[in-house]
Amino acid sequence: MNFINRYLYLTIGLTLLFSNCRPATKVVAEKPKKPLNIILLIGDGMGLAQISAASVMNGGLFLELFSIIGLVKTSSADDYITDSAAGATAYSTGEKTYNGAIGLGVDSMPRITILEMAEKNGLSTGLISTCSVTHATPGSFFGHQKNREMHKEIAADFYGKGIDFMAGTGKPYFDVDKLKNQYNYNILTGKGPYKFDALSQHIWFYNDSIHPPKAAERGPWLLDATNAGISYLSNNKKGFFLMVEGSQIDWGGHDNDLNYMASELVDFDKAVKAALDFAKKDGNTLVIVTADHETGGLSLNAGSIADKKIDASFASKHHSGIMVPIYAYGPGAELFQGTMENTDVFKKMKTLYGF
Ligand code: MG
Ligand code: ZN
């Protein structure tokens, strides 16, 4: 114990002693607040420049409603610059791994994910993405494969896991008959919105294709899917875990297309608002919003808030190493203040769930 700790303990001890001397004051140890539900929203490639640009271009963002904010270091085990597989695996398993790995450690052995832990503990679980659900970010929450390109193998990892709700694209990678007949999933395909009964588990494919359309064509699909997922999963009194990904913010960055990036971010921001609205009403839900990494080395060079215009340039067509913001609201949100490693996000979620 160092001097600062001794001093702290002494001060706390004296404070407790003296407060006990006053008959009117009762000292009650404050219990750490724990959520029943966690909604983790990942804006793939959503750095601070992306958020700043989209805020100007959209005249503000719901993200700005959060008051608890931190910063996340994103590097992977084998590269300062992470890819989305290692980035999502850090969030899902609490371990840094090599770029391209889906739910595996550096030894290529599977690691249990926060979603799998939630399932084992009797919670309901869900995944929503605006890309194939076998893609690196959603895939790393249920899949365990050596390479992110192994979409069919990642899809096969989904079977029998008990995941309650999934929405996205990637239907051709899945054995739909097996999901329906062997695992009793209700499979819906189309734009929706759908009403989901509380009795069966649901998979909602946006279309029959692997590829999703951009936000302008999707309309409010991500918002609808997020609202549907929350209302379905919240039937479980034991709680739920839901991951929602704004997948194509990253693709706009890779394309060095500011408008594509910003429209995907604004679309994702609406899902954030839906999660926040539920959490405010519910009181037992922690909402976490972050990114796996920044994409494109976006730099904002000039702009006009009045005209909602940004003059930006991209430094690359790849990811960058800059820290990304993390926002939190609800029970346990205060744990997400300060600067942390991406792996810490898993550890904090695990602690808060009590797994
Ligand atoms: Mg992704
Ligand atoms: Zn990317």
Pick the closest to residue 91 from 234, 264, 243 (CA basis): 243
Residue 253 sits at φ, ψ, to 5 deg, of: -65, -45
Ligand nearest to the CA of 253: 2
Instruction: Give the per-residue pLDDT at 146.
Output: 98
* Residue from 8, 164, 148, 173 nearest 85 by CA: 148
Whether 320 is covered by a domain: the verdict is yes
Annotated catalytic, 84? yes
Ligand 1 centroid to Cα of residue 250, in Å, is: 7
The overall longest dimension of the chain from CA atoms, in Å, is 71
Which residues on neighbouring strands pair with residue 39, listed in sequence order? 242, 287
Q: How confident is the model at residue 25 (pLDDT cuts 50, 70, 90)?
A: low
Amino acid identity at 149: E
Q: Which ligand is nearest to the CA of 87?
A: 1
Q: Assess whether the previous peptide bond of 193 is cis (omega < 30° from 0).
A: yes
Residue 24 has pLDDT above 70, yes or no: no
- What pLDDT is recorded for position 31? 58
Nearest to residue 247, comparing CAs of 223, 285, 212, 283?
Answer: 212
Q: Which pLDDT belongs to residue 6? A: 52
- The phi, psi pair for 280, rounded to 5°, reads -65, -40
How many whole angstroms from 306 Cα to the centroid of ligand 1? 32
Of 24-38, 173-187, 200-214, the range with the lowest mean pLDDT is 24-38
At residue 86, what are phi and psi to the nearest 5 degrees? -65, -35
With CA atoms as reference, report the closest residue to 122 among 38, 40, 237, 231. Answer: 237
Please state whether beta strands 124-132 and 240-246 pair in parallel, antiparallel, or not at all (unpaired): parallel
Is residue 214 a part of any domain in this protein?
A: no
In a domain? residue 249: yes
Mind giving me the DSSP string for 217-232? HHTTHHHHHHHHHHHH
**pTM metric for this prediction:** 0.91
- DSSP-derived letter for residue 316 is -
Residue 213 placed within a domain: no
Chain-wide mean pLDDT for the chain?
93
Query: What is the predicted pLDDT for the residue at 59?
Result: 98
Q: Judge contact between 315 and 92, C-beta under 8 A.
A: no
* CB contact set of 235 (below 8 Å; sequence gap of 6+): 124, 198
Instruction: With respect to residue 126, please indicate whether it lies within any of the assigned structural domains.
Output: yes
pLDDT of residue 274: 98
| Domain-embedded: residue 91 | yes
What's the start-to-end Cα distance of the chain, in Å? 29
C-beta of residue 30 within 8 angstroms of C-beta of residue 334:
no
When divided into structural domains, the chain yields a total of 1
Query: What pLDDT is attached to residue 195?
Result: 85
Q: Specify the range with the lowest mean pLDDT, choosing from 6-10, 169-173, 181-185, 339-343.
A: 6-10
How close is the Cα of 69 to the center of ligand 2, in Å? 23
Write out pLDDT tens, residues 59-102.
Answer: 999 999 999 999 999 999 999 999 999 999 999 999 999 999 99
**Cα 42 to middle of ligand 1, angstroms:** 8
Encoding tokens for residue 263?
């429209």
- What CATH number should be reported for the domain holding residue 253? 3.40.720.10
Which residue in 55, 76, 84, 92 is the catalytic one? 84
Which pairing describes strands 68-73 and 201-205: parallel, antiparallel, or unpaired? unpaired
Domain range for 90 is 39-152+238-353
Q: pLDDT over 90 for what percent of the chain?
A: 88
Q: What is the mean pLDDT of residues 184-191?
A: 96
Residue 3 confidence class, pLDDT cut points 50, 70, 90: very low
Q: 308 alpha carbon to ligand 2 midpoint, in Å? A: 26
pLDDT at 284: 97
> Quick check: is 336 in a domain?
yes
Is residue 115 situated within a structural domain?
A: yes
Ligand nearest to the CA of 138: 1
**φ and ψ at residue 189, rounded to 5 degrees:** -130, 130
The answer to whether the beta carbons of residues 94 and 343 sit under 8 Å apart is: yes
